[in-house]
Amino acid sequence: MHKNIDIKNLDLKGIYQLMISGVSPRPIAFVGTQDQNGNDNLAPFSYFNAFGSNPPIIGFSPANSGRTGKKKDTLINIQNTNQFSISMINYHMVEQVSLASCEYDPGIDEFVKSGFSKKKSTLISPPCVDESHFIMECKLYDIINLGGKPGSGNLILGEILCFHVSENIFNTNGSIDPFKLDPISRLGNNYYSRSKNGIFEVHKPRHNGIGFDALPKAVLESKKLSGNEIAKLAGSKHVPEIDSDYCNLDDLENENLIDKIKVSLSEMDMDTAWQAVLRLIK
């Protein structure tokens, strides 16, 4: 038995939540663009797929703000420059990708905020994400306005000009190994899916995170902390003050503090993690 839900009885948020929960899992386009002044922008979009091979066409749809109707920076940049890159997301990038989805002001470089390395494109100006295993350089094919209202989509179709594929993800027969590609897809709410493992949650920051550029060098250069773990710290709203209630951390050596940070982040104990970070840089 099905529950009938008439669109007329739903608000915009209700329609959106039903769509992203039911139309899933969806691949994620991590789109790199530049504005007319050469400032880089990076943002993820899960209304995304491939639509043909001759010419090779991919499409994604950045929706207008449901609150203000304002266009996304990605859309504006592509309208002005006709170019963009798409870097496919793997599991080891996912927390950083969530951080990149924050609504930073135009001119803020999400590559820097989310801690990704820029890979220079060969045929277009916008850079790609070097940590991605599968990258496409694209030129604009068409933009289809899907309503022009708050929450309306803008279907951007791009023609692929060039692929960059990591040599590490090929099988011995020359085909891409899906286990090595380790792709991530989007479901409803905070849920994602790891193709080789199943469903998990990533909690998007409810604010603009401080970013990788606000974290101490000792954290960024630690070989024990992964990009996903560091991104949890970078997603914080602000850097807290040292709290004397955590004086048990005062006598720990740096390596032990790093271990404490790692364990605390795995348990989502952000208070302890940050107190260990603050003692690391004293």
Q: Would you list the DSSP string of 62-109?
A: PPPPTTT-PPPHHHHHHHHH-EEEEEE-BGGGHHHHHHHTS-PPTT--
Amino acid sitting at position 92: H
Q: Is residue 207 one of the residues assigned to a domain?
A: no
Q: Is residue 2 one of the residues assigned to a domain?
A: no
- DSSP assignment letter at 140: E
Amino acid sitting at position 176: I
Q: Is residue 139 one of the residues assigned to a domain?
A: yes
242 with 115, same domain: the answer is: no
127 with 251, same domain: the answer is: no
pLDDT for res 235:
86
Taking each helix axis from N to C end, the angle separating 227-234 and 270-280, rounded to the nearest 10 degrees, works out to 100
140 with 250, same domain: the answer is: no
Q: Is residue 55 one of the residues assigned to a domain?
A: yes
Amino acid sitting at position 248: N
pLDDT for res 200:
63
94 with 171, same domain: the answer is: yes
- Domain that includes residue 70, residue range: 7-201
From 201, 221, 240, the end of a domain falls on 201
From 201, 231, 262, the end of a domain falls on 201
84 with 139, same domain: the answer is: yes
128 with 108, same domain: the answer is: yes
How far apart, in Å, are the Cα atoms of 176 and each of 133, 136, 225? 10, 15, 28
Q: Are 141 and 157 in contact (CB under 8 A)?
A: yes
pLDDT for res 266:
86
Average pLDDT per 10 consecutive residues for the chain, totaling 282 residues: 89 89 92 95 95 97 89 95 97 89 85 94 97 97 94 96 96 91 91 80 74 88 88 88 87 87 89 89 74
- The span from the CA of 182 to the CA of 64, in Å, is 30
Task: Name the pTM for this structure.
Answer: 0.76
